[in-house]
Amino acid sequence: MRHLVIIIPAFNEEKGIGSILDGMPKAIESISEIDVIVINDGSTDNTEKIAREKGAEVITHPYNMGLGISFRRGLERALEKGADIIANIDADGQFDPQDIPGLVFPIIKGEAEVVTASRFKSADHSPEMSKTKVLGNKLMSLIISKIVRKKFHDVSCGFRAYSRDAALRMNLFGKFTYTQETFIDLASKNISIIEIPVKVRGEREFGESKIASNLFKYGFNTLRIILSAFRDYKPLRLMFFVSLFFILIGTLSGSFFLVHYIRTGAFKPHTWAGFLSFSSFILAIFMLIAGIFMEMFSRMRMNQEQLLYLARKEHYEKLKAK
């Protein structure tokens, strides 16, 4: 029998948090204990009050610190409580808490370490969303799939379940969000991740998304987190692509410069093209060299993360034994 802890990051969700908590499953096969933790991320409304009245444990931040930090704090508290499985669900009402058993069963059966709900894996479950949001989600999924070299259909969904071991191995840094970074982090450590189609509400029942209300801001912050994770775990691949960019610039400008010289027999007035070509090829070489050194540091990082995992495991096992 296992201990399930459900974490719910929430920021000004007084209109929906009550129904989410009321809908939590009371019993799940092979689960002996279910706890619910709400991470109140600096809400200025009655989110904390309602969550406590509904019987949830509440962790309150003094101000809004971001979804990424709230998620990490929820993981830490769940591990402190001795969770064997950790489920995460958003507080905006887009997901049905009664679908949580479907997320945890593959972990219980040993079929995966991480199970994520997918809004786009099955056409029958596709939510009603604006074309811009659908396109943005598909683009993010394409980028992450290319990085981790495994096809995923929905990397932005916040409805997931994690085994204890997967939670112990996670090492995340993003403040704005965590959803895409999690894929890169865990896939790079060969943690098995599967998607399960889940029918969700495409738009919030109350208010607007705190994360995706401004799509340009969301895209910028998310891409920044993705690039940082890509740099940390796949630096040689990243620098290879950067190097290819400079090689392309160098080839185009060099070709232009060469054709001009063949036609006119003179370098001027396009000597700039020669300098640009030469500089671009030099930068391409530097990028590749930098990538090689960054790859060495990445391997050192992976060794350090393994040590961190073992230290965390020992620490939380002692807490669990108390």
What's the rounded mean pLDDT across residues 260-269?
Answer: 86
Per-residue HEC secondary structure of 204-230 comes to CCCCCCCCCCCHHHHHHHHHHHHHHHH
Each residue of 136-169: pLDDT tens digit?
788 888 888 888 888 888 888 889 999 999 999 9
- 144 in Cβ contact with 226 (< 8 Å): yes
Mean pLDDT of the chain: 87
Confidence tier at 205 by pLDDT (50, 70, 90):
low
Note the pTM of the prediction, 2 decimals. 0.79
Q: Which of 68, 233, 239 lies closest to 148 in space, CA to CA?
A: 233
Q: Which of 38, 42, 132 lies closest to 77 in space, CA to CA?
A: 38
Each residue of 208-218: pLDDT tens digit?
555 555 566 76
Distance CA 282, CA 285 (A): 5
Q: Are strands 193-197 and 85-88 parallel, antiparallel or unpaired?
A: unpaired
Residue showing tokens 């230290």? 311
Each residue of 169-178: pLDDT tens digit?
998 887 877 8
Distance CA 88, CA 83 (A): 13
